[in-house]
Amino acid sequence: MKEIKIGAIIPTFNRKDSLKRCLQCLKAQVQGTTPWTLVVIAVVDGSKDGTLEMLEKEFPEVEIVQGDGSWWYTKSINEGVKRAQSLHCNFVLTLNDDLTFKPDYISVIFRDHLASGEDSVIGSVSLTSGEPRLITFSGVRQINFLLKEYNYVPKFSSVREEEISGLKPSVVLSGRGILYPMEIFHRFGLYDEKLVQYSSETDYTYNASKNGFKVMISFNAKVYEDVKLTSSGAVYNNPTAKSLFKSFKNKYSINSLHKIYYYSVKHRGGVGGFIITGVRVMGIIKNFVKVKIKNKA
């Protein structure tokens, strides 16, 4: 087997403390039975909180790609992939800067890639960083015409993490810990930058699963996320009514109408996209009302 060189790409903006925790987890990684080399690539998109100084002082080995503050998630990932290609990495691991994970994480996810085959993309199961552990992404077993995702485990279900393991097919993946063979970027290009902040990894893995790549979710490779730092406009973070409706107009929001419509049209056509956008917005509002009622009870 040729040398395995993994480029771990972490986009970040003004989160030096959470980024530091993620980098410490990467530094603590231990080799498994198949050796690999890790190159860490921090894509710093205009941070003003001392991130660059922290990296230079505490993590001088980290490759730094600097953005101007307008890249957001998708372009940051793409620029990170370009740097990984220039460094001759043959795998890319996408991570969020709010993630933590155990010292065997990379060895486990790479082992699952080998078990799935060379044309495989492996995603990580994600859980809340606090106790009790709640599932935040468990893989998607099916997507219907309305792009509704049917998860293996309902989001925010309480689980005993020692009881979940194995590999399952997933129609799409979340960006919180995806291991890609570099070949996929040669074949399909980079993430779609019209999906500026959200859904670009979902879009990319959906295309991969429809075009011959084996897309899998690993219940063995676990990452832990700080949900309060993720998706600030999301209903589960209990926004006000004003901030919720503002989020529909914000193209950088998880609730962006532009994002929902563009993604829906891309995968279901014009008429389908219009219908799906309406259904999705009504669903967000319905869930918002449910959360407010629950919090008042």
Let me know whether 35 and 146 are in one domain.
yes
Q: Are 127 and 99 in contact (CB under 8 A)?
A: no
Let me know whether 69 and 142 are in one domain.
yes
Mean pLDDT across the stretch 171-192? 96
pLDDT computed for residue 273 by the predictor: 95
Mean pLDDT across the stretch 76-80? 98
Q: Are 19 and 43 in contact (CB under 8 A)?
A: no
pLDDT computed for residue 231 by the predictor: 56
245-264 per-position pLDDT tens digit: 899 999 888 899 999 999 99
296 pLDDT above the threshold of 90: no
Last residue of a domain, one of 197, 229, 261: 229
Helix (H) or strand (E) holding 201: helix 200-210
127-144 per-position pLDDT tens digit: 999 888 999 999 999 999
Count of domains forming the chain: 2
Mean pLDDT across the stretch 158-174? 94
Q: Count each helix (H run) and each strand (E run) in the chain, helices first.
A: 8, 12
Q: Which residue segment(s) compose the domain that 21 sits in?
A: 5-229
Let me know whether 120 and 252 are in one domain.
no
Let me know whether 26 and 101 are in one domain.
yes
Let me know whether 16 and 135 are in one domain.
yes
Mean pLDDT across the stretch 148-169? 93
Let me know whether 260 and 283 are in one domain.
yes
291 pLDDT above the threshold of 90: no
Residues whose CB is less than 8 angstroms from the CB of residue 68 and which lie 6 or more positions away in sequence, other chains included? 45, 46
pLDDT computed for residue 35 by the predictor: 93
Map tokens 């879009």 to a residue: 203
pTM reported for the whole predicted model: 0.93
pLDDT computed for residue 235 by the predictor: 65
DSSP state of 215: E
Residues whose CB is less than 8 angstroms from the CB of residue 91 and which lie 6 or more positions away in sequence, other chains included? 4, 5, 6, 7, 110, 113, 179, 180, 181, 182
pLDDT computed for residue 240 by the predictor: 86
Let me know whether 225 and 267 are in one domain.
no
Q: Are 39 and 7 in contact (CB under 8 A)?
A: yes
Confidence of residue 237 (pLDDT cuts 50, 70, 90): low
Mean pLDDT across the stretch 35-50? 96
Last residue of a domain, one of 184, 214, 229: 229
* Separation of alpha carbons 230 and 220, rounded Å: 22
Let me know whether 183 and 206 are in one domain.
yes
Last residue of a domain, one of 229, 245, 266: 229
Let me know whether 65 and 159 are in one domain.
yes
Let me know whether 282 and 148 are in one domain.
no
pLDDT computed for residue 68 by the predictor: 94
Let me know whether 239 and 225 are in one domain.
no
Let me know whether 221 and 263 are in one domain.
no
Average pLDDT of the chain, as a whole number: 93
